[in-house]
Amino acid sequence: MHDINFIRENPTQFDEGLKKRFLEPQSQLILDLDTKKRELLTKSQDLRSERKNLSSEFSKLNNEEKESLQKKVQIIKNEIEQYEKEISEIDSKLKSLLSSLPNIPHPDVPVGEDEQSNKIIKKVGDIPNYNFKPKPHFELGEELGMLDFDQAGKVSGTRFVYVKNHLARLERAIANFMLDKHTGEFGYTEIIPPNLVRDAAAYGTGQLPKFSEDLFKTNTDHWLIPTAEVPLTNLVLDTIVSEKTLPQRLTAWTPCYRSEAGAAGRDTRGMIRQHQFSKVELVSITSEDNSEEELERMLNCATSILDDLKISYQVMLLSSGDMGFSAEKTYDIEVWLPGEGKYREISSCSNCRSFQARRMNARYKSDEQNKFVHTLNGSGLAVGRTLIAVLENYQNEDGSITVPEVLLPYMGNIKVIKKS
């Protein structure tokens, strides 16, 4: 949600921000509604004062004068009710308009309509060379007998998979390694959050109302979480926290559910784009002065996982047209997949500043003044896609998978995964 005071004071800057998102100017429409609302509020308040003054004279009047005064008071009451109705209608229009507009990009964000305008920040690690043609993860997993897309299709339809045996353990090992590192080394607090949320939570983080088609809804009016960002960020929904408690750094390993409504025909084979997958999510709640620094820290926490796994990756600064709705600035981490011969996204780390906090009414007390918190979120990392990266980068010519050294403590005595 946008700050109406900022729009009043900086209408041109606001419209320039929307232009970077390839949207039409909206400040004039917003300010016209805002002006009309304030005019009606003034009229309503004046009438309330007049009614109060008239009522104070009531006891001093005779019966005939009282009857006349009662008629005047009733007329004023009717006018106030009409004003309140109009104010409510304008409020609804204003909220609907403001909640439909995405966050304004940070000045550092490159302007562009899509991923073609994303900027490479850095590349880490060399592209591995093999003396054989590397296979994609789905071929490796199927040949091992540990990824079953066919049976999952019978049971659940497309974009589902059974992960079995040692690959199931490997996925669990990856998630546990991530959680241990983020909690033990980087000071995140582990949370087991609800996987079902109400409208207010999905609205708070920006999934509703605009992106409902991307979510799964239950018949109890709950939404399955598309990422743990939703329940973790909403831990401060409708709260005022002490500045002394900030930053709050939270992490969770959860299943995630997405309809992939706009992904028809894309990544139809394998685990890259699934309706159900798991992620280790990172969320930070900060004061307004510290969110930019926190974004860089979060990015380093996420990339450290790939550093430890010794897998090559690149970091991208997303363009204004490729960023998510709630983000002011986003870094994507893209991991090298030898089976595909290209980099693929494995994490997005975003600073939303006060955009989500205004929707959640999430504030902190600073010097006796309540301010909106800043919220950040990132994958640390997508667990399924990390499994893909391990399979493709650690594959051997015979189709077996060498377990990365850092994961060995989580895998018992299994050093190489072979077909049973």
Tell me the residue type at 28: Q
Of 273, 288, 366, 400, catalytic: 273
Here the tokens at position 134 are 């590397």
Report the alpha-carbon distance of residue 171 to residue 95 in Å, rounded. Answer: 43
Catalytic (active site) residue 348: yes
Q: Which of 27, 278, 348, 350 is catalytic?
A: 348
Q: How many CA atoms lie within 13 A of 112 on its CB side?
A: 13
| Residues 6+ away with beta carbon under 8 Å from 55 | 73
117: annotated active-site residue: no
State the Cα–Cα distance between residues 241 and 236, nearest whole angstrom.
Answer: 8
Sign of the dihedral through C-alpha 271, 277, 280, 283 = positive
Tell the burial category of 337 from Cβ atoms under 10 Å away from its Cβ (0-12, 13-18, 19+): buried
Whether the CB-CB separation of 31 and 14 falls below 8 Å is answered with no
DSSP one-letter code for 214:
G
Number of Cβ within 10 Å of residue 194's Cβ equals 14
Is the Cβ–Cβ distance between 232 and 193 less than 8 Å? yes
Q: Which of 16, 86, 340, 345 is catalytic?
A: 345
Amino acid (one-letter) located at 166: H
Q: Is 273 a catalytic residue?
A: yes
Contact between 374 and 352 under an 8 Å Cβ cutoff? The reply is yes
Q: How far apart are CA 44 and CA 46, in angstroms?
A: 5
Spatial distance between the Cα atoms of 281 and 279, rounded to a whole number of angstroms? 6
**What's the rounded Cα separation, in Å, for the pair 308 and 392?**
16
* Other beta carbons less than 10 A from residue 240's beta carbon: 13
Is 385 annotated as catalytic? yes
| CA–CA dist 216, 214 (Å, integer) | 7
Per the rule left: phi > 0, alpha: psi between -120 and 50, beta: everything else, 145 is left
Which residue is it, tokens 């104070």? Answer: 56
Q: Which two tokens stand for residue 251?
A: 């992490």
CA angle centred on 413, ends 411 and 419, rounded to 5°? 80
Catalytic residue among 258, 344, 358, 359: 258
Which of these, 252, 275, 362, lies nearest to 1 by C-alpha position? 362
Reported in sequence order, the residue ranges of 147-194 that DSSP labels E, i.e. its strands, are 147-148, 162-163, 189-190
Residues identified as active-site: 258, 273, 345, 348, 385
